[in-house]
C-alpha cells in the first residue's frame, strides 16, 4: 500500500510539472517578437549608421520596452516586391519607368545579401503577379518588356497581394510601388492595404510619378493616402520629375535599406485595454537626430502582461 501511495504521489507531481511546463511554453509562443526597421537621419537629411543599442528607446502604447534584439546595419536578406502601375494614364511614362526599374533590379540583385530576392507585379484594373520571388535578373527584366498601359488603378489590391506573398519569407520585407496617382478600381480598401502591409512587417516606398505639376486634375486624396501608407510602415514617398530623378529615388531607397537598424522587443506590461493596433515610438538619446520606423503593429496585448 505504501508503495502504491508513493507511486501515486510521483504521478501527481509529474502531472503538475507537466501542466506548469505547458503553461510556460504556451506563454512563450504567445509573446511575439516585434521587429522594427529603423532609419536615422541628421538635420541635413543624411543617414546616420553609427549608433548603438543604448542610443535607442522604444515605447509600445506609451510603455517603455526592453530592447532584446539590436543589429547595426542589419544584413538580414531583403524580399522586395516591385509594383508597377500600368493603368491607362501611365502610357507616356511607362517606357522610362521600366528602364529605370531595370537598373534598380540589377543593383539590387548584384549587390547586398546573396539571399535577397525580388517579386514583380503589374497593376491596372487587375493585379498580375509577373514573377514570384527570384534572383534571376534577366527573367525579371524580360517581364517588364511587354507591359501595356490600360484601364484603372488597383493599387490597394496590389499592396494586399504583395503583402500576402511575404508569408513564410525570413528577413526584411519591402514594397516599392511606382504609380502616377491614387487608387481607382481596387476591391480592397485603404485600411485593408495598410493592415496587410503591417501584418507582413512590410515597409512601403511609393514612387509617385506625377503626370502633371499643378493640382488641377491630380488625385490629391490618393496621393495623401500614399503618404500615410509610407509613413505608417516606416517608408517615404518620392516624387521624381523625369527619368534621372526616378533613378535617384531608387538609389535613395537602396541606401535606406543598407543603412537600417533592426530593433526587436517582446511587449510587456501593456494595459489590458490596449487597442488592437499598438502605437510604437522610437526615441533617440541624441536630439539632433530623427528616427523613422513604422507607427505600430496589430497584436493582442492580453498575453503580454
> pLDDT of 160-218, one tens digit each?
999 999 999 999 999 999 998 789 999 999 999 999 999 999 999 999 987 555 555 56
Which of the listed ranges 26-30, 93-97, 151-155 does the model predict with the highest average pLDDT? 151-155
In sequence order, what DSSP letters do the residues of 250-283 get, joined into one string? HHHHHHHHTT-EEEEE---S--TT--SEEEEEEE
**3-class DSSP state of 179:** strand
- Examine the pLDDT at 7 and tell me if it is beyond 50: yes
The Cα–Cα gap between 148 and 132 comes to 20
Pairing mode of beta strands 127-134, 34-41: unpaired
Tell me the pTM: 0.85
Residue 22 pLDDT exceeds 90: no
The arithmetic mean of pLDDT across residues 240-265, rounded, is 92
Specify if 155 maps to a domain.
Answer: yes
pLDDT of 132 over the 80 cut: yes
- The percent helix, strand, coil of the chain (3-state, each to 5) is 35, 25, 35
Q: How many structural domains compose the chain?
A: 2
pLDDT at 24 over 70: no
**pLDDT tens digit sequence for 217-229:** 566 777 889 999 9
Residue 300 has pLDDT above 80, yes or no: no
Task: DSSP letter for 77, please.
Answer: P
Q: Which domain holds residue 150?
A: 78-257
| Together in a domain, 45 and 132 | no
Q: Is 97 a member of any domain? A: yes
Residues 199 and 229 in one domain: yes
Provide the CATH number for the domain around residue 196: 3.40.50.410
Q: What is the pLDDT of residue 8?
A: 56
Amino acid at each position: 500500500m505504501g508503495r502504491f501511495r508513493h507511486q501515486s504521489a510521483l504521478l501527481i507531481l509529474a502531472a503538475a510539472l507537466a501542466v506548469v511546463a505547458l503553461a510556460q511554453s504556451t506563454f512563450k509562443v504567445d509573446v511575439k517578437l516585434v521587429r522594427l526597421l529603423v532609419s536615422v537621419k541628421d538635420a541635413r537629411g543624411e543617414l546616420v549608421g553609427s549608433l548603438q543599442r543604448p542610443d535607442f528607446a522604444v515605447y509600445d502604447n506609451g510603455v517603455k520596452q526592453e530592447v532584446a534584439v539590436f543589429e547595426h546595419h542589419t544584413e538580414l536578406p531583403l524580399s522586395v516586391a516591385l509594383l508597377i502601375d500600368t493603368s491607362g494614364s501611365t502610357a507616356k511614362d511607362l517606357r522610362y519607368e521600366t528602364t529605370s526599374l531595370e537598373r534598380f533590379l540589377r543593383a539590387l540583385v548584384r549587390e547586398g545579401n546573396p539571399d535577397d530576392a525580388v517579386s514583380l507585379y503589374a497593376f491596372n484594373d487587375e493585379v498580375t503577379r509577373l514573377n514570384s520571388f527570384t534572383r534571376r535578373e534577366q527573367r525579371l527584366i524580360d517581364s517588364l518588356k511587354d507591359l501595356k498601359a490600360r484601364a484603372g488603378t488597383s493599387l490597394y489590391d496590389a499592396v494586399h497581394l504583395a503583402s500576402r506573398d511575404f508569408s513564410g519569407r525570413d528577413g526584411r520585407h519591402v514594397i516599392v510601388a511606382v504609380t502616377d496617382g491614387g487608387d481607382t478600381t481596387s476591391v480592397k480598401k485603404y485600411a485593408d492595404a495598410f493592415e496587410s502591409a503591417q501584418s507582413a512587417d512590410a515597409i512601403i516606398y511609393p514612387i509617385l510619378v506625377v503626370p502633371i505639376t499643378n493640382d488641377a486634375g491630380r488625385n490629391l486624396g490618393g496621393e495623401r493616402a500614399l503618404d500615410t501608407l509610407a509613413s505608417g510602415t516606416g517608408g517615404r514617398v518620392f516624387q521624381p520629375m523625369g527619368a534621372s530623378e526616378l533613378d535617384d529615388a531608387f538609389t535613395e531607397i537602396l541606401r535606406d535599406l543598407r543603412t537600417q537598424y533592426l530593433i526587436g522587443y517582446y511587449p510587456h506590461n501593456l494595459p489590458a485595454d490596449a487597442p488592437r493596433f499598438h502605437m510604437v515610438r522610437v526615441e533617440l538619446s541624441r536630439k539632433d537626430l530623427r528616427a523613422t520606423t513604422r507607427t505600430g503593429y496589430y497584436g493582442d496585448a492580453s498575453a503580454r502582461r
